[in-house]
Structure 1
Amino acid sequence: MSKCNSKQYESDVMVVPTSCLHNCGGRCLLRVHVRDGEIIRVESDNGAEPQLRACARGRSYRKRLYAPDRLKYPMRRVGERGEGKFERISWEEALDKVASEMLRIRDAYGNSAILLLAGSGNAGGTIHGPGPVKHMLAAFGGFTNTWGVPSFEGTIFASLATYGTPNTGNSEDDFLNSRMIIMWGWNPAETIQGQITNPYLARVREQGTRIVAVDPRYTDSAALFAQQWIPTRPGTDVAMLIAMAHVIITSNLQDQAFIDRYTIGFNQYRDYVLGVEDGVPKTPQWAEAITGVPATVIADLAHEYATSKPAALVFGLGPARSAMGEQCARAANVLTVITGNVGIHGGYACGAMFYDAGGRTRRRRPAESRNPVEQGRPPIRSALYKLEEAPVPNTAQIHGNKAYDAILKGRSGGYPADIKMVYVVADNPINQRDNVSKAVKAFRSLEFVVVHEQFMTATASFADILLPVNTFMERGDIASSPQAHFYLPGIIESRYESKSDWEICRELSKKLGISETFGDKTEDELLDQTARARGLDYKVLKRDGFIKTNWSEPIVAFKSQIEDPENNLFPTRSGKIEIYCEHIAEMDNPLLPPIPKYVNHWESFDDPLVARYPLQLITSHYKLRTHSIYFNIPWLKEIEPHSIWINTADAQARGISDGDLVDVYNDRGRIRIPARVTERVMPGVVNLYQGAWYIPDENGVDRGGCANMLTKDEHSPGGAYPFNTALVQVELAPQG
């Protein structure tokens, strides 16, 4: 364990360690300089390696904390929903109104009429964010909840189906043991997928290890680390992965001994790949017509990967955010399996990439939901409910991407409830779920909306009561990552009249007649309890600010299962890696085959809709935002203005020059945004970074550049959000 103390370097300045707590994929160390109760500077880790160094987002946090447009006090809507017209009221008035509306709606329609839309924007710790709201609503008699994680639901499904667990990753230091790394749709230089990933990838590159990037874009990660970039059409990754399997199997390069000992279902997969099942061999030539990748490139990559063992194929979360997302994630898992690159140093099992460290144990699901509305309800048809580590969505829940449809249609549309009220916490759902236009229509139809927020986001502007919440700089908490545990001390007093989610729910519960829900423990007592549950000494953590986790050798997922399979079964139903998943087969859904397959889907490159909307849209994560957080920070906007990436050939065909204002549109909406003409995105594909704020003009054209104006509110058969499945057209914006 290594640790770092707060210290005073000037008589009136204290440096306090804390952690950045928004959902970017990392937990970085911030060293916050405080003078007279005001934060004057934010630095990052300057201690021992490996350093947990913050990016521009974390370093800019002072600008966010003291932003002039922070929400300062509770407000009540006085204009139309979405106008953003509010009046200031007291906390007493605000909570009285929320309580009276919750009681009215419960008594008139039942608890299921209250829909919770909760995200991870103001979360990341232990006692704030959605947790206290869920606890309060359950004590109130229940609520309608959503299922599906926008970031990685398809990947989680694939991990569970193959391995029985989402804990499939190796620690980042193990990349030093790889002879080859394939970064497939993985862009850690921008997404910060783990705080220490990039330093280790830099060392891997310096030692001469071969790195290949497969992605529709030439990402920052490709530019920094890779020797080769292979662009592939969005939504077709599974075809290329299956064609690589064809090359490996027909060349007898698979690790047959590994397959025979640790897996089930290889014969069924082989028959599909070779065309025995359907008469269509999945050759590189077959895949070339689908992916746009030359057959020779596919074959060469397959040979190189299969003969470079140990090799790490790291399949990012982005490709699985598509209409058939679980299929490509499963195909990536299976490719690592048939080459024997699972459970060994230098290999990688793909999957959800989580790994256990610091003595933490795997999460087990509760025996039954604590939400009374859900109790006794059966699992949904696509749930992997027989697996111990699987979340189990039930029929009382609504997929998050169908929430707006459910609000508008209710039980008559086949949904489990007639929604009359929405409670929003740590989320900006109008902006961050697919199909903004439908979201606007749905929110306007509701009887009551309450929102916890820090800024006037798109969702906040639709609230009836708007409650200002504080930031992680203004409240106590504990946060953990594989690399460290952090104590967040609440460095300054809460700005203006903002409160924490926990404080709001504790006070609101009293007005709802459930005052016992939060008891009489203080925030500090709750954090002490949390620390002890994690095996941490709370006094030491408070004193030192953070404790870095050390391990004697790189962590390797499934190492014990491979080294001692008789005593360490995989947490699947069979106890082995499941290339063929019987649990999926029992669902009897042709769109969810028990082996990974290429399944064509709506708004793909060959959809007839390309006659009207010929460009495939991807909505990548952005290095200067965490979803919609930080959009309004001037420092970050100066680094790189928001724009849509379009290939030079596609731009020339439309008379578009770099910097021109263009319209991007389809049947769901239209945005107006500058064009970035570049060779860093493949022809036929445009990239629009997700998270920009929805700012409609008088004609309904979004001037903020919100990607979800253009995306479809559906989900894959396994629950993936299809943020990267959409067809659009781009043209010069009207003059004037």
Structure 2
Amino acid sequence: KTLLKRFLNGIGGFTDQVNTYSNAAGTVILPYVVGNAEAIYVGSSWDGLIRDSELIVMFGGAPLKNLQVAGGGPGMHMGEEWLRRAKEAGIEFVNIAPLRDDAADFLGAEWIHPRPNTDTALMLGMAHTLAEEGLHDPSFLKRYCTGYDRFESYLMGGGDGQPKDADWAASITNVGAGRIRALARRMAASRTMIMTNWSLQRADHGEQPFWMTITLAAMLGQIGLPGSGFGFGYGSMCGMGGPRERIATPRMHAGRNPTGSFIPVARISDMLLNPGGWYEYNGEARTFPDIRLVYWCGGNPFHHHQDINRLLRAWRRPETIVVHEPWWTATARHADIVLPATTTLERNDIGASPKDRFILAMEKAIEPIGEARNDFDIFVDLAGRLGTREAFDEGLGEMDWLRRIYEDAREQAAERLVDYPGFNAFWEKGHVEIPAPVEPYVMHADFRADPAGKALNTPSGKIEIFSETIDGFGYEDCPGHPAWLEPIEWLGGDGATNYPLHMISNQPATRLHGQMDSAGISRKSKIKGREPVRLHPADAARRGISEGDIVRIFNGRGEILAGAVLTDRVRTGVIQISTGAWYDPVTPGRVGALDRHGNPNVLTPDKGTSRLGQGPIALSALVEVERFEGELPEITIFRAPGIMADAK
């Protein structure tokens, strides 16, 4: 994707996407509260947590499958080991999630399973207990925070007359009030670390659980102390909390986009369907551009975007769609021009993650297959035809660029007194290992030690429990302090009458997103060729569904087939189906066609988290499930489409 942006910037610019589907809402809200979004990617290190924590409360758990993957590719797979060491050190765990196995069995975690999307209400109930029983830390709130008084007024019922106490929270979450109070007291009595996964902010009003996590940690008064505080994403990907010097890794730069045009990443269908339409984002009133050409590399919107039927309608609007792909994914099948691109085995590259201690030399294993070409070479030739080759490649080839970006990173590392070997030695050895820090990293320890000298990058220099800036935007869907806002779809809402099951579409264990769904390990996990869906035996019994049945999952946005797996490791009222099954409609190109394979994004709503963050809300989806009757349609997505060689 960096190469694509560099190419488009060189020919005059383009409309970019900002933030990610992984954590868009969190990335926007955190700078207002703590001055930057660092906590999404860098948290207190596990070695320190293991030494000093007593209690770890995990909103969203820490699924081991998530700890095997990371952007850029991890060289160290330490997630499970850190968790095991924490357990051996005597740390207690609480898993707050609709899935029991979001926490590994060896942790012995207490499982609390609220209704999905009600975590903010649960945190508010705990916060009320802390305040009412004097278990909060007023001195910390006064010295290091601003706006707590405004929040406390809301917490105690100011404005709406409803105290956000444990009984109120119980009515929303279906977690007993006594259990809510007990957890709050336990957190106040312990050195407590609150870990909130990215998944919580991929829901309607997803900014709120992140903001409320920080507020709850602030009330405990332990932010900046060893073994405590808050963090995001410890259970979302490999490397979070791994001890690592904060130094540069090799990267290519896309250059400057002269247009300055962008949309929030998950608003692509809105943009294509509403050229010239007005929307709000992060305090700005913006206008969607009129897009005539879509150029897509390094992604698969027919996997990761919400409400695929709506995307299908939107995809018809541009005049031309160009895609680079090694595989015949659904996105490639919906393109006008498909340029066959090499896989990672057919090109030279460098792998590195800012959370990992290894830089990897990814030496080409085989020559390109068929007509496939390296993305770099494709753009070099296109830039040459458009007269911008020199700006794109600067006269350098593939290996020259790898050498340059590595040596740039090497120079930056040297400034931090870290010695990387020269490029030739690196390439021959195959990797560089970045040394671990001598001391554990404690997030916000410097701020706690010197709040004036190490002030946060917020207007007040403090943690903003109430934000005057956000309040000034006037967003009813994201007010000036964390609050319970009813999701567009949840089990306590009107929509549950027709669609009484909440669908959790989490990350798969047998592939990375949609990558390699056609490979053996993923296909072996299928049931009669369909993606597995897990549901509680009680929910299955009410619908006459047995283990291994093919079921139809549906709502007002679409319908898919899946294979039933019955388990009590899923909360009642919830189904779980992983993302990544390649979209395979029985009638390709027809909006509303049954997806025979089981892509849950056929069913998810395409709406922003709020006018502030405009992130995706895939985890706010209600559905119904029934046993599928009739002839089972054949899976066809893994067959290459017919090629009309003589088409004119």
Corresponding residue to 2:176 among 284, 294, 316? 294
Letter in 2 for 1:722: I
Task: Say whether the 8 Å CA contact 2:63–2:101 is kept in structure 1.
Answer: no
* 2:426 aligned with 1:541: yes
Alignment of 1:553-564 (within 5 A): 553-564=439-450
* 2:582 aligned with 1:693: yes
Q: Which residue of 2 aligns with 1:358?
A: 245
User: Cα distance 1:183–1:226, how it changes in 2: closer, same or farther (>3 A)?
Assistant: farther
Q: Which residue of 1 aligns with 2:454?
A: 568
Alignment of 1:81-96 (within 5 A): none
Q: Which residue of 2 aligns with 1:510?
A: 384
Distance apart, 1:398 and its partner CA: 2.5
> What 5-or-longer segments of structure 2 have no aligned partner?
71-76, 235-239, 280-286, 414-419, 632-648
Letter in 2 for 1:568: K
Deviation string 1:669-692 (CA, Å, 9 cap, x unpaired) is 100111111111111111111111
Letter in 2 for 1:175: L
Alignment of 1:605-644 (within 5 A): 605-638=491-524, 642-644=531-533
* 2:594 aligned with 1:713: no
Deviation string 1:548-607 (CA, Å, 9 cap, x unpaired) is 431112111111111222321112221111111122122121211111000112112233
Q: Which residue of 2 aligns with 1:235?
A: 117
Distance apart, 1:332 and its partner CA: 0.9
Q: Which residue of 1 aligns with 2:33?
A: 162
Q: Which residue of 2 aligns with 1:315?
A: 196
Deviation string 1:337-361 (CA, Å, 9 cap, x unpaired) is 2112211210132246667942427
Q: Which residue of 2 aligns with 1:735?
A: 630
User: Cα distance 1:651–1:203, how it changes in 2: closer, same or farther (>3 A)?
Assistant: same
CA distance in 1 between partners of 2:481 and 2:278 (Å): 32
CA distance in 2 between partners of 1:269 and 1:443 (Å): 43
Alignment of 1:9-408 (within 5 A): 130-168=1-39, 169-176=43-50, 177-192=52-67, 195-309=77-191, 311-351=192-232, 357-360=244-247, 370-374=256-260, 396-408=261-273
Letter in 1 for 2:212: A
Task: Say whether the 8 Å CA contact 1:561–1:569 is kept in structure 2.
Answer: yes
CA distance in 2 between partners of 1:528 and 1:316 (Å): 36
Distance apart, 1:721 and its partner CA: 0.8
Letter in 1 for 2:17: T
Task: Say whether the 8 Å CA contact 2:582–2:597 is kept in structure 1.
Answer: yes
Q: Secondary structure at the match of 2:229?
A: coil
Task: Say whether the 8 Å CA contact 1:152–1:352 is kept in structure 2.
Answer: no
User: Cα distance 1:348–1:532, how it changes in 2: closer, same or farther (>3 A)?
Assistant: farther
Deviation string 1:520-574 (CA, Å, 9 cap, x unpaired) is 1233332333233332444343343221431112111111111222321112221
Q: Which residue of 1 aligns with 2:555?
A: 666
Write out the 4+ residue segments of structure 1 that deviate beyond 4 Å after TM superposition: 351-356, 412-415
Letter in 1 for 2:462: K
Q: Which residue of 1 aligns with 2:315?
A: 443
Task: Say whether the 8 Å CA contact 1:482–1:549 is kept in structure 2.
Answer: no
Letter in 2 for 1:283: D
CA distance in 1 between partners of 2:108 and 2:202 (Å): 23
Task: Say whether the 8 Å CA contact 2:33–2:463 is kept in structure 1.
Answer: yes
Moved more, 221-230 or 330-339: 221-230
Q: Which residue of 1 aligns with 2:361?
A: 488
Letter in 2 for 1:516: E
Task: Say whether the 8 Å CA contact 1:172–1:196 is kept in structure 2.
Answer: no
CA distance in 1 between partners of 2:472 and 2:421 (Å): 47
CA distance in 2 between partners of 1:361 and 1:271 (Å): 44
Deviation string 1:599-622 (CA, Å, 9 cap, x unpaired) is 112112233222211111111111
Distance apart, 1:431 and its partner CA: 1.9
Task: Say whether the 8 Å CA contact 2:249–2:354 is kept in structure 1.
Answer: no
CA distance in 2 between partners of 1:412 and 1:151 (Å): 25
Letter in 1 for 2:57: I
Task: Say whether the 8 Å CA contact 1:531–1:537 is kept in structure 2.
Answer: no
Distance apart, 1:313 and its partner CA: 0.8
Corresponding residue to 1:422 among 279, 287, 294? 294
Distance apart, 1:220 and its partner CA: 4.7
Task: Say whether the 8 Å CA contact 1:616–1:726 is kept in structure 2.
Answer: yes
Moved more, 245-254 or 275-284: 275-284
User: Cα distance 1:575–1:702, how it changes in 2: closer, same or farther (>3 A)?
Assistant: same
Task: Say whether the 8 Å CA contact 1:167–1:352 is kept in structure 2.
Answer: no
Q: Which residue of 1 aligns with 2:283?
A: none
Task: Say whether the 8 Å CA contact 1:181–1:210 is kept in structure 2.
Answer: yes
CA distance in 2 between partners of 1:637 and 1:335 (Å): 43
Q: Which residue of 1 aligns with 2:324?
A: 452
Corresponding residue to 1:684 among 554, 564, 573? 573
User: Cα distance 1:398–1:242, how it changes in 2: closer, same or farther (>3 A)?
Assistant: same
User: Cα distance 1:144–1:704, how it changes in 2: closer, same or farther (>3 A)?
Assistant: same
Q: Which residue of 2 aligns with 1:675?
A: 564
Q: Secondary structure at the match of 1:644?
A: strand
Corresponding residue to 1:468 among 328, 340, 346? 340
Letter in 2 for 1:725: S
Q: Which residue of 1 aligns with 2:542?
A: 653
Distance apart, 1:659 and its partner CA: 1.1
Task: Give me the CA root mean square deviation.
Answer: 2.3
User: Cα distance 1:373–1:200, how it changes in 2: closer, same or farther (>3 A)?
Assistant: same
- Count the aligned residue pairs: 582
Q: Which residue of 2 aligns with 1:121?
A: none
Moved more, 436-445 or 618-627: 436-445
Letter in 1 for 2:61: W
Q: Identity, % of aligned pairs?
A: 29
CA distance in 1 between partners of 2:26 and 2:46 (Å): 19
User: Cα distance 1:132–1:350, how it changes in 2: closer, same or farther (>3 A)?
Assistant: same
CA distance in 2 between partners of 1:548 and 1:188 (Å): 26
Letter in 1 for 2:354: S
CA distance in 2 between partners of 1:241 and 1:529 (Å): 48
Alignment TM-score, normalising by the size of structure 2: 0.86
> What 5-or-longer segments of structure 1 have no aligned partner?
1-129, 375-395
Task: Say whether the 8 Å CA contact 1:617–1:726 is kept in structure 2.
Answer: yes
User: Cα distance 1:666–1:640, how it changes in 2: closer, same or farther (>3 A)?
Assistant: closer
CA distance in 2 between partners of 1:601 and 1:257 (Å): 34
Alignment TM-score, normalising by the size of structure 1: 0.76
Deviation string 1:1-36 (CA, Å, 9 cap, x unpaired) is xxxxxxxxxxxxxxxxxxxxxxxxxxxxxxxxxxxx
Distance apart, 1:175 and its partner CA: 2.4
CA distance in 2 between partners of 1:323 and 1:236 (Å): 10
